[in-house]
Amino acid sequence: MSSRNGHLLEVKNLRTYFDTEDGLVKAVDDISFSLQRGETLGIVGESGSGKSVTNLSIIRLIPDPPGKIVSGEVVFNGQDILLLPPEEVRKIRGRRIAMIFQDPMTSLNPFLKISKQLMEMTQLHLGYTKAQAYEHAIKMLETVGIPDARTRVDNYPHEFSGGMRQRVMIAMALSCQPELLIADEPTTALDVTIQAQILELIKKLKQETGTSVILITHDLGVVAGMTDHVIVMYAGKVFEQARTAELFARPGNPYTKGLLRSVPDPTSEQGKLYQIPGSPPDVARLKPGCPFAPRCERVEEICRREFPPFVQLNADHYSLCHFAREVFDASEATNK
Amino acid sequence: MTIPQANSDRDVSLPVSEPLLSIRDLKVHFNLSEHRLVRAVDGVSLDIFRGETLGLVGESGCGKSTLGKAILRLIEPTSGSVLFRNADLAKLSSREMREQRRYLQMIFQDPYASLNPRMTIGQIVGEPLDTFRLARGAEAEKRVQELLETVGLSKRFIKRYPHEFSGGQRQRIGIARALAVDPDFIVADEPISALDVSIQAQILNLLEQLQRKKNLTYLFISHDLRAIRHVSDRAAVMYLGKLVELADSKTIYDEPLMPYTKALISAVPVPDPKVEASRQRIVLEGDVPSPINPPSGCRFHTRCPFAIEACSEVEPQLVQIKPSHYAACIRISPSQPHIEHVAPGDAPGLELSLQ
């Protein structure tokens, strides 16, 4: 699928700020990345890193006020979504870019039958008749592996378990065969065995339909198994981006490196876990210099003074760090 | 007092220390209505040894938190016994139990919900000192300051309120409070689940460091197998109110025997793209059944890829399959421990469970 022109989505210099009682919060501050057709991009970050705001910005769901997309471009299929009138954005949302969220119960209407909610998608976006939409709803439930779909389609959301609701969400999201699926922590609220089912399902549907996926998660294990590219976010910035295999093998940023080392690896014997000291910063009160400097083990005077450069380390590999090259070279050495 | 004979009697090859806590046939049932009984914990027997970390892992609704709370009598057990310091906790009066709480503490999952927002950090951490009359006045204040430093917080925080702290700091406050009474045993119920990845490692390290320093014994409850594997000496797996496997945590992770444990471990995402690309995942069908009217026989048989007819009829007992490795599955036995090598339809462990 990655033949013609390659990029399905290009985010350029996106800035999304929130006006809060604490002052101006630069939730997303000048980030750029792109997504190839047919690829899965992982966005990793801790709370407050801006990963969810990034994706709400892509589909223009930032509550305004207090939020505002201050500048940047979100080029989807050659068209800047940020310049489109609201009714055009609504046509794209759900039809060409679909989203699934962590908690399916907040995105499903508890008073409406599943059939009604699924039918709405195709009736609205594809102009299906009621009968067509109903049949399509059943077909979608079957696709996502809901047993006895013809009966279950007329159930209400509360009659489904957590894992089944997430399947319903995926069925709804994929109803109109979107080109891009944004999945924001889709398995965080689920049990491990159910998580495995949902991740397998997303992989399978991706292969069958060629949909590109943005997967937002805090779980580095999920990233390792599901994605082609990763961007690591911290304090509203992209700290590192690379192909997934390279990011894990040769991280070029002290934050990424620390994060990778702080996760228990069940396949190897470890003593004390590496720990990054301190906590993620309050983005309303960022000091000059690198936002990670107070927690960084490679910190030097310059880090507290000057904002770090976004250094290219390899094809498709960038890191926001004054010492990116050194960190990158060192992690190659330790992996040999 | 007689101890009900447990089917999981420990073999002599294990650590020679005495169990700190012996749980025998513990049950916690909740009556929802006349005909609906939730068997949240349904006959669990387990020894927890002094100085060890026992990991308790399972999916939501398996009863792991209920078991942890029932041990401490934060939930009343329906039957069974919990032997601790020559007393059966399950049968103590509430006044007698209160005295025991000095030795038994709990750390909770949600550091936001488990601290009283109207109390200062000093009051929160100092309250147990007052309750158990362990220290007063200036001495109590000094103790609180020491406790805060022990968990890595500044003693200057003593007059602040919980909302001024981050999730990780609040979890440290909860730990300081649990430590105030100098307990022997701590139930840590999902202590890192609500925390950011970089903070999880801090709390795991802190718990390990405190254990060494104070010779603590932990029951570490989590759905996160990676964390369980890292912190626990032994691990117990629970499914729908029953223990289904028990062994040292490396063995559980590397060589699980019971099919549910195998599936659970194969579902854990590993932070290594090379491993992820090559591994075979056992994807279970369906959801965990409801603990109201759980499946007959082996409760896992409805989702088990190895189930045969007898599995729906015979309730498997937790028996020793390998040295210090216990599993509840009639399709395996000490002579045929690996289910993949058992002939189709065979149930070599059937007799062990029928005895």
- A191 → closest Cβ in B196, B223, B274: B223
* Predicted local confidence at residue B158, as pLDDT: 92
CB–CB contact A266 B230 (8 Å): yes
**In chain B, which residues have pLDDT < 50?**
1-14
d(CA A70, CA A185): 26
| Burial class of residue B6 (count of CB atoms within 10 Å of its CB; 0-12, 13-18, 19+) | middle
Mutate to test the interface with A, among B62, B164, B198, B274 (most CBs of A within 10 A): B198
- Closest residue of chain B to A244, computed from CA coordinates: B273
Residue located via tokens 């469970």: B353
Q: Which residues pair with A93 in a beta bridge?
A: A97
- Closest residue of chain A to B262, computed from CA coordinates: A193
- Closest residue of chain B to A279, computed from CA coordinates: B199
Report DSSP state, residue B292.
B
d(CA B162, CA B179): 18
- Closest residue of chain B to A220, computed from CA coordinates: B271
- Closest residue of chain B to A227, computed from CA coordinates: B273
- B198 → closest Cβ in A219, A262, A264: A262
d(CA A239, CA A313): 13
- B268 → closest Cβ in A266, A270, A273: A266
Confidence of residue A160 (pLDDT cuts 50, 70, 90): confident
* pLDDT tens-digit series, residues B269-288: 988 999 888 888 888 887 78
| Burial class of residue B68 (count of CB atoms within 10 Å of its CB; 0-12, 13-18, 19+) | buried
CB–CB contact A272 B253 (8 Å): no
- B204 → closest Cβ in A199, A267, A273: A273
* Predicted local confidence at residue B8, as pLDDT: 41
* pLDDT tens-digit series, residues B62-103: 999 999 999 999 999 999 999 999 999 999 999 999 999 999
CB–CB contact B201 A192 (8 Å): no
Tokens of A196: 């495995």
**A318: pLDDT strictly greater than 60:** yes
Whether the CB of B263 is below 8 Å from some CB of chain A: the reply is yes
**Which of A8-17, A18-27, A158-167, B132-141 is least confident?**
A158-167
- Closest residue of chain B to A273, computed from CA coordinates: B201
CB–CB contact A280 B198 (8 Å): yes
* Predicted local confidence at residue B13, as pLDDT: 43
Whether the CB of B211 is below 8 Å from some CB of chain A: the reply is no
* Predicted local confidence at residue B290, as pLDDT: 81
* Predicted local confidence at residue B105, as pLDDT: 96
* Predicted local confidence at residue B289, as pLDDT: 83
User: Interface pTM (ipTM) of the complex?
Assistant: 0.83
CB–CB contact B272 A244 (8 Å): no
- A192 → closest Cβ in B169, B268, B271: B268
| Burial class of residue A202 (count of CB atoms within 10 Å of its CB; 0-12, 13-18, 19+) | buried
Cα dist from B212 to A162, A325, B125, whole Å: 39, 39, 21
* Predicted local confidence at residue A285, as pLDDT: 86
Report DSSP state, residue B270.
P
Give the minimum alpha-carbon distance from A207 to chain B in angstroms, rounded to a whole number. 15
Give the minimum alpha-carbon distance from B235 to chain A in angstroms, rounded to a whole number. 13
Domain ranges of chain B: 21-254, 258-355
Which residues 288-327 of B are in CB contact (within 8 Å) with A? 288
* Predicted local confidence at residue A335, as pLDDT: 60
Picking from A82, A38, A35, A40, the residue whose alpha carbon sits closest to that of residue A57 is A82
Confidence of residue A282 (pLDDT cuts 50, 70, 90): confident
CB–CB contact A273 B196 (8 Å): no
**Which of A34-48, A136-150, B231-245, B273-287 is least confident?**
B273-287
- Closest residue of chain A to B207, computed from CA coordinates: A272
* Predicted local confidence at residue B280, as pLDDT: 83
CB–CB contact A224 B168 (8 Å): no
Q: DSSP letters along B118-175, please?
A: TS-HHHHHHHHHHHTT---HHHHHHHHHHHHHHTT--GGGGG--GGGS-HHHHHHHHH
The CATH code for residues B21-254 is 3.40.50.300
Give the minimum alpha-carbon distance from A191 to chain B in angstroms, rounded to a whole number. 6
Give the minimum alpha-carbon distance from B328 to chain A in angstroms, rounded to a whole number. 19
* Predicted local confidence at residue A5, as pLDDT: 56
CB–CB contact B201 A276 (8 Å): yes
CB–CB contact B230 A273 (8 Å): yes
